[in-house]
A and B are shown apart, each in its own frame.
Chain A
């Protein structure tokens, strides 16, 4: 006899034990005796670490005062950071001109907001502003010499400001250059391909320190007499080229993951090579490379600390210099903790942004 079902089964909510906070705790933390033990041990370890950190950084720490003598607590003495805060943020940028850096930050924040926010529908304008106008504004704003702004030599730039300049310029140059190198490496023209492969492999084969050292010490030897680049510019060139080589390999990975059929479909519709690359292949390749691209950015951001060896005073170097001050001996821990926390905030933000962007760009089911 055939069994026939005549009624449709209604949709039901999931069983309560599976959902909600209680359900999650039941399933994940206390589902077996071993799990209970592990949960208890983990909570204990986290508790010890967190409570020690909090008492070091806050409860037993000193915040008030303005000299070494005010460091009376057993925890951190943030007075050191407070007193030197201006220098840590701006380096030796003249105090009266520091507003220019702040204006630069604000203009940058506006641009970033325009690009990230869902409120702005047409991304053309914020993108144009951020990639064409903003860099030029910043150049004049920071270095001065025009519009009645006094000249601030790049040797006076420093601290977090210099770190951000190094990181953003390198990122700004590395991504487009990396894309060009990646496309060149896949080009059908042998000369182009060989040049790109040669560049990438040469740069990837040496440590960043060497590249920086070469660009600051060796480059002047090769340049004609009298031609002398700014030390910061040389560091920027070195870092940008270095990260472009890495970026090229990341983007190449993305390009290789795009099926050949995409390019063929674009071509068969009459799109030219550059249209097909720009509209079809690259958007998809970049999308799947977002995690690795951001990973490279984060690495690059932290690598900016290496400019220490060519005598630029970035965030780390300026704090390090501060800890050797006779009046503030013994402040190394506070200094490095502060530097680490600052780097962490920036890198973590980049990481979260990449996750957000990936979800936003996700279309359809993963297959």
Chain B
């Protein structure tokens, strides 16, 4: 194999986790995680509470530190090097379960803050970009309101727009709909689906199995800090292999 082919293959990989372990004190949260995400690939992660889903995706942008193994994002390995961490965080957007909007800033300011301070985009330009993304998530008219004046679904869409303003190549979602009332879930999912259709690389922790079926290239099941099973959605839902996956699926599909 030539070197050119090798680098070609590397460029097609957005995220790579190799033999990654993490501990909280003595507690072994993540055990030997191996995962490779291609550019443009959409992965849905599910699993019981406490299985380490959040911890895993938070390691990818270094909100949590891993202790063993490698994490390579966009060709850059995550180490203690602050510069590299910042570089990766600029390319990786994250959406949280509880939105984490900045309550003291308007919706527009929430969206322009990082472009202005991190990317040094001029204010007018940053505002134009922000308005573009607020239109995409269908709330341009809320631009001058404060987050506290919006509904949960609107807030989560602002959070998505805020991430998109940094023009990320990868988006991480940590249960983006689980703090929302049922009637607001679909507006957020619709935004995520349209993002997926545009070819964004996405890792979504979610229990919205409908979303997984429509969007995911691969569904992953985690339990007790391990990746138990991963497969294309069709296979994952119709023909799960492990008993733990079967049990989990029967529980959530029963409730749904």
Give the CA-CA distance A267 to B102 in the complex, in Å.
Answer: 12
Cα distance A363–B149 in the bound complex, in angstroms: 8
Q: Is A364 part of the binding interface, using a Cβ–Cβ cutoff of 8 Å?
A: yes
Using CB atoms, name the residue of chain A closest to B119: A270
Contact A280 B102 (CB under 8 A): yes
Smallest beta-carbon distance A333→chain B, Å? 48
A268 contacts across to B, CB distance below 8 A: 61, 63, 89, 92-94, 163
- In Å, the complex CA distance between A264 and B62 comes to 10
* B133 → chain A closest CB, angstroms: 13
Q: Are A261 and B89 in contact (CB under 8 A)?
A: no
| A270 and B148 contact, CB distance less than 8 A | no
A305 interface residue per 8 A CB criterion: no
| Contact residues on B (Cβ < 8 Å of other chain), bracket | 20 to 34
Closest B residue to A364 using CB positions? B148
A-B interface contact total, Cβ < 8 Å: 72
The complex places the Cα of A367 from the Cα of B90 at a distance, in Å, of: 31
Stretch of B5-13, B110-118, B225-233 that contacts chain A: B110-118
User: Is B149's CB under 8 angstroms from A365's CB?
Assistant: yes
B104 interface residue, CB < 8 Å from A? Answer: yes
Contact call A275/B117, Cβ cutoff below 8 A: yes
Contact between chains at B103 and A284 (CB < 8 Å): yes
- B132-147 vs A, CB cutoff 8 Å, 1 = contact: the mask equals 0000000000000111
Contact B146–A364 (Cβ < 8 Å): yes
Interface flags, A178-217, vs B, CB<8A=1, else 0: 0000000000000000000000000000000000000000
Q: In the assembled complex, how far is the CB of residue B66 from the closest CB belonging to chain A, in whole angstroms?
A: 16
> Number of A interface residues, CB 8 Å?
23
Contact present for A283 and B96 (CB under 8 Å): no
Contact string against A for B residues 85-109, beta-carbon threshold 8 Å, 1 for contact and 0 otherwise: 0100110111010101111100000
Q: Do the beta carbons of A265 and B117 come within 8 Å of each other?
A: no
Contacts of B90 in A (CB 8 A): 270
Give A359 Cβ to nearest chain B Cβ, in Å: 14
- Please tell me if A271 contacts chain B, counting CB pairs below 8 Å: yes
CA distance A252 to B61 in the complex (A): 27
* Chain A proximity mask over B238-254: 1 for CB below 8 Å, otherwise 0: 00000000000000000
What residues of chain A lie closer than 8 Å to B216, measured between beta carbons? none
Q: What's the nearest-Cβ distance from chain A to residue B114, in Å? A: 4
Q: How far is the CA of A264 from the CA of B90 in the complex (A)?
A: 13
Name A287's contact: one of B89, B104, B145, B162 (CB within 8 Å): B104
Whether B166 sits at the interface, judged by CB under 8 Å, is yes
Minimal beta-carbon separation of B78 from chain A (angstroms): 13
Residue of B nearest to A261 (CB): B100
Q: How long is the Cα–Cα vector from A86 to B39 in the complex, in angstroms?
A: 78
Give Cα distance in the complex from A269 to B115, angstroms: 9
A residues near B146, Cβ cutoff 8 Å: 363-364
User: What is the predominant secondary structure among interface residues of chain A facing chain B?
Assistant: helix
- Rounded to whole angstroms, the CA-CA distance of A270 and B113 in the bound complex is 10
Query: Which of A271, A275, A283 has the most CB atoms of chain B within a 10 A radius of its CB?
Result: A271
Is there an interface contact between A265 and B100, defined as CB atoms closer than 8 Å?
yes
Distance in angstroms between the alpha carbons of A364 and B119 in the assembled complex: 29
Contact call B96/A264, Cβ cutoff below 8 A: yes
**Bound complex: CA A365 to CA B151 (Å):** 11
> In residues 181-203 of chain B, which contact A (Cβ within 8 Å)?
none
Interface residues of A in 227-251 (CB under 8 A from B): none
Nearest A-chain residue to B94, judged by Cβ: A268
Given contacts A271-B117, A271-B118, contact A363 B148 (CB under 8 A): yes
Contact with B along A322-347 (1 / 0, CB 8 A): 00000000000000000000000000
A262 beta carbon closer than 8 Å to chain B: yes
Contacting A269 at CB < 8 Å: which of B103, B113, B147?
B113
In the complex where A284-B103, A363-B103 touch, is A272 in contact with B162 (Cβ < 8 A)? no
What residues of chain B lie closer than 8 Å to A261, measured between beta carbons?
96, 98, 100
For the complex, give the distance between the alpha carbons of A264 and B95 in Å. Answer: 11
Check A367–B89 contact: CB distance below 8 A: no
Closest approach, in angstroms, between the C-beta of B115 and any C-beta of chain A? 9
B120 to chain A, nearest CB (A): 12
CB distance from B204 to the nearest CB of A (A): 15
| A205–chain B nearest beta-carbon distance, Å | 33
State whether the Cβ of A221 lies closer than 8 Å to any Cβ in chain B: no
Q: Name which residue of chain B comes closest to A281, CB basis.
A: B102
**Nearest A residue to B116 by beta-carbon distance?**
A279
Could you name 26 residue pairs across A and B whose Cβ atoms are closer than 8 Å? A259-B100, A264-B63, A264-B96, A265-B94, A266-B102, A267-B61, A268-B61, A268-B92, A268-B94, A269-B93, A269-B114, A269-B118, A269-B166, A270-B90, A271-B113, A271-B114, A271-B118, A275-B117, A284-B102, A284-B103, A363-B148, A364-B145, A364-B146, A364-B147, A365-B149, A367-B148
Residue ranges of B at the interface with A (Cβ–Cβ < 8 Å): 61, 63, 82, 86, 89-90, 92-94, 96, 98, 100-104, 113-114, 117-119, 145-149, 159, 162-163, 166
A interface residues, Cβ below 8 angstroms from B: 259, 261-262, 264-272, 275, 279-280, 283-284, 287, 361, 363-365, 367
Give 8 A-B pairs besides A262-B100, A265-B159, A364-B146 with Cβ atoms closer than 8 angstroms. A264-B96, A265-B100, A268-B94, A269-B89, A283-B104, A284-B102, A363-B148, A364-B145
List the 7 closest A-B pairs by CB distance, nearest first. A364-B148, A265-B100, A269-B114, A363-B146, A261-B100, A270-B90, A268-B94
